[in-house]
């Protein structure tokens, strides 16, 4: 009797040489350029503005943008690795790279026409930060209950309304804004527009004071008869709902990467602390109960990383990934909450002090269950696909 050899698939967490080199480059950058400023940025609730130009210089803001437009022409998976490594040091810094790549750039790459791509992609790769403006006061999980309206004029559109919870709103120079051009059509009237910061009638409103990711700006946008050229309509009229849904599906993978980065940073800090902290005459890492906790956290982190990498690989391969993206965001955010909470406890009283890093990881993790689709919305998506 002969047995045919079965080819074992390459583990999802095994990186190619190129991917591994990229990861190390981003890690070195995060350690050298971001870590020294983490505490000060969190205290000030403000990104060190010297970092944004460095994100662009390193090529982190145009990872998927084609080389002809000034980007790297690389994969979505590399963007995922970058977000993970940045979040390992500071989730606030990571979210600037995350939203810019997974929402804004992806949106333009997929839905813009050639003229729009030629006009905006070089700027998005080179020096202009982007933001994604969907949410409103009455439009959260019900993303299409938009009140922001778009009125067609002779040679332009006028947008009127307010957007809330806009990540990177304070620093962005370019916004993908969603407004309803025909309320009689319900959500099928929603249209996407490419808006520049200096367009007449556009302004940035109040900045939110937040629990976590404090150095990342979250702002209101005010549109007062904001004039948008007709050539800045993104995609077909009335297809804004489709653009938003499909873009957010991709963005959820980015949030998953952010969450595993946060969990990784917290676990590394706690592991080191456990090796150094002594009680009853020996390092607490020598106690079996502590080892059990560390082992459980490492297992959950690896499982969460697999869901994120799987979704990113599927996206790059052009395969369906909506279910996998929802699972990745849901599970990684749950794991990040559990791990960061446990790490705070392992630090004991020190874990509750802002002099040690884990309390910040704990605060930063919470947002993962909320933005770009709450955990309940992810569960609903997963269940609907299961019931099909």
Residues designated catalytic:
372
DSSP letter for each residue of 69-123: GTS----HHHHHHHHHHHHHH-HHHHHHHHIIIIIIIHHHHHH--HHHHHHHHHH
Retrieve residue 174's tokens.
């370019």
Distance separating alpha carbons of residues 131 and 111, to the nearest angstrom: 16
Who contacts 190 (Cβ-Cβ below 8 Å, separation ≥6)?
144, 146, 178, 179, 180, 181, 238, 240, 241, 244
- β-sheet bridge partners, residue 180: 149, 190
Instruction: Please state at what angle helix 240-276 crosses helix 76-89, rounded to 10 degrees.
Output: 40
Distance separating alpha carbons of residues 221 and 136, to the nearest angstrom: 9
> Strand 156-167 relative to strand 278-279: parallel, antiparallel, unpaired?
unpaired
Distance separating alpha carbons of residues 39 and 364, to the nearest angstrom: 13
Retrieve residue 43's tokens.
């205290």
Nearest to 151 by CA among 44, 240, 228, 58: 228
What are the percentages of helix, strand and coil residues in the chain, rounded to 5? 55, 15, 30
Distance separating alpha carbons of residues 53 and 227, to the nearest angstrom: 29
> Strand 174-180 relative to strand 130-133: parallel, antiparallel, unpaired?
parallel
Distance separating alpha carbons of residues 72 and 76, to the nearest angstrom: 11
- Give how far Cα 98 sits from Cα of 44, 130, 131, 384, Å: 21, 10, 10, 27
């Amino acid at each position: 009797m002969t047995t045919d050899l079965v080819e074992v698939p390459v583990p999802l967490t095994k990186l190619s040489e190129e991917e591994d080199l990229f990861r190390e480059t981003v890690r070195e950058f995060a350690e050298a350029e971001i870590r020294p400023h983490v505490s000060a940025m969190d205290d000030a609730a403000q990104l060190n503005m010297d970092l944004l130009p460095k994100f662009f210089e390193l090529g982190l803001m145009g990872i998927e943008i084609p080389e002809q437009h000034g980007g790297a022409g690389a994969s979505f998976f590399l963007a995922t690795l970058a977000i993970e490594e940045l979040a390992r040091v500071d989730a606030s810094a990571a979210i600037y790279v995350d939203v810019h790549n997974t929402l804004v750039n992806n949106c333009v790459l997929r839905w813009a026409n050639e003229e729009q791509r030629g006009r905006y992609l070089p700027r998005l790769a080179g020096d202009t930060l982007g933001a994604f403006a969907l949410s409103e006061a009455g439009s959260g999980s019900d993303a299409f209950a938009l009140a922001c309206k778009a009125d067609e004029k002779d040679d332009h559109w006028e947008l009127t309304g307010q957007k809330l919870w806009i990540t990177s709103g304070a620093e962005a120079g370019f916004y993908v804004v969603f407004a309803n051009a025909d309320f009689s059509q319900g959500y099928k009237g929603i249209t996407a527009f490419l808006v520049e910061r200096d367009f007449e009638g556009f302004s940035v409103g109040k900045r939110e004071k937040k629990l976590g990711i404090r150095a990342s700006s979250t702002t209101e946008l005010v549109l007062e008869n904001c004039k948008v050229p007709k050539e800045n309509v993104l995609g077909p009229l009335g297809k804004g709902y489709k653009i938003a849904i499909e873009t957010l599906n991709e963005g959820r993978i980015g949030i998953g990467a952010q969450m595993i980065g946060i969990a990784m940073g917290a676990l590394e800090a706690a592991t080191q602390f456990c090796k150094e902290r002594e009680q009853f005459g020996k390092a607490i890492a020598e106690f079996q109960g502590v080892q059990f906790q560390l082992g459980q956290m490492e297992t959950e982190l690896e499982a969460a990383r697999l869901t994120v990498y799987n979704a990113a690989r599927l996206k790059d391969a052009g395969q369906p990934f909506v279910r996998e993206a929802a699972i990745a965001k849901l599970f990684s955010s749950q794991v990040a909450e559990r791990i960061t909470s446990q790490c705070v406890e392992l630090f004991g009283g020190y874990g509750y002090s802002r002099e040690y890093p884990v309390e910040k990881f704990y605060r930063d993790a919470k947002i993962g269950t909320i933005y770009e689709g709450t955990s309940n919305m992810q569960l609903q998506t997963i269940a609907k696909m299961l019931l099909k």
